[in-house]
Amino acid sequence: MLACSRCNQTYPEAEPRWRCECGAYLLLQSDRMFSRDSLNHRPPTLWRYHEALGIERSESTVSLGEGFTPLIPDSLFGQPVLLKLDFLNPTGSFKDRGSAVMISKLKEWGVTEIVEDSSGNAGASVAAYARRAGMTARIFVPAYTSAGKTAQIRMYGANLVKVPGSREDTTQAALEAASRTFYASHNWSPWFVVGLKTLAYEICEQRNWQAPDWVVAPVGGGSLVLGLYLGFRDLLRTGFISRMPRIAAVQAAACAPVYHAWKQRLDDVPAVAKQESAAEGIVIARPVKGRSILEAIYDSEGVVLTVAEDEIWATARTLAEKGIYVEPTAAAAPAAVRQLAELGLAGPGSSVVVALTGMGLKATDKFIEHLGTDDGEAVQP
């Protein structure tokens, strides 16, 4: 069943809804789980864990082969790490995990028309899966969104609406449109979070069911951090792993509401005034699921770290020089590995998994601006 995060109201999973009648967000409560022994012969996609994903009929499944991305050893700032290349999902970001499950559930409900708002990647991901499921999608994005992402959304055949002003203005515009169709919001949908639990399952399966010491992940709306935490909790409950990994959630210093709330040990995340950041995908002044994000961090004995704009760009370069091209938003988490090591939270013997969330090609326009207009060496005619 779906349970309200505030008022204890519950709803059946078969009922199309995206929030509680009281206005708060819902989370799936379920103890269905896959069995470890059945995994060996299954295809390398996130649907190998389908028993835990709450999709009732296999014909509802909308898939592009998402999940099971590489986990590769490397080192950052002298710290050994395992890089989870989750930008290698079908639309170029980890959001495909959430979209695949959310859109499958919407298909099961018989929804044919949806509205979503996004800083770009969720919009592209939802547009792709909606189209594959035969749904019509209207995607609202802030006017500042990278051209790579808006072109991608339009190519998938979605109706793109650019909203001037802030990320919050975009949500408002989408909500107004959603009063006439279904609001398939990655920030609200409990099913989107269910899809992100597969990242935790996968990291542990790829490490032979050894939980890592740390998982470092960016936090914006918080579906990723919450999905990781809930996924690890499933694995703990079933005894597949024996301890909870610590979560290091990373924000851009320019917009760090979760950091400020965590510093003050609050139980919800108040809005902050924010500045612009190259990490456009995590610039969220007030995450909807603030309560659950903080709970995930406290309960995992985690930390919240912030990184400056120059660290984000420098880390994008460092990764690119290793052959790994991620967008600036996805460079924030690896940038924070420096602090994790400097603060003594991780050391040479620690296992540190870093989630790399979005592909560099998404932000080509931002990289061109960063590099300057010089387009490399030209051959003289």
Which of 48, 50, 84, 95 binds ligand PLP (CB under 6 A)? It is 95
CB of 158 to ligand PLP, least distance (A): 16
Is residue 185 a contact residue for ligand PLP (CB under 6 A)?
no
Q: Which is nearer to ligand PLP, 212 or 227 (CB)?
A: 227
Residues near ligand PLP (CB under 6 A), total: 18
Which of 54, 142, 195, 218 binds ligand PLP (CB under 6 A)? It is 218
Determine the residue with CB nearest ligand PLP: 358
Q: Residue 86 touches which of Zn ion, ligand PLP, none (CB < 5 to 8 A by kind)?
A: none
Which of 205, 357, 360, 366 binds ligand PLP (CB under 6 A)? It is 357
3-state DSSP assignment of residue 45: coil
Q: How many CB atoms lie within 10 A of CB 315?
A: 24
Give the C-alpha separation, 130 to 62, whole Å: 9
Q: Residue 358 touches which of Zn ion, ligand PLP, none (CB < 5 to 8 A by kind)?
A: ligand PLP
CB of 217 to ligand PLP, least distance (A): 8
Helical spans, DSSP H, in the chain:
95-109, 121-132, 147-155, 167-178, 190-206, 223-237, 257-263, 290-299, 309-320, 328-335, 337-342, 364-371
DSSP labels, 138-183: EEEEETTS-HHHHHHHHHTT-EEEEESS-HHHHHHHHHHHHTSSEE
Give the C-alpha separation, 230 to 188, whole Å: 16
**Contact range with ligand PLP by CB under 6 A, out of 44-52, 75-83, 215-223, 264-272:** 215-223
Which of 329, 353, 354, 366 binds ligand PLP (CB under 6 A)? It is 329
Listed in sequence order, the residues at least 6 apart from 89 whose beta carbon sits closer than 8 Å to its beta carbon are: 66, 67, 69, 95, 96, 97
Question: Which positions touch ligand PLP (CB under 6 A)?
Answer: 93, 95, 121-122, 218-224, 281-282, 327, 329-330, 357-358
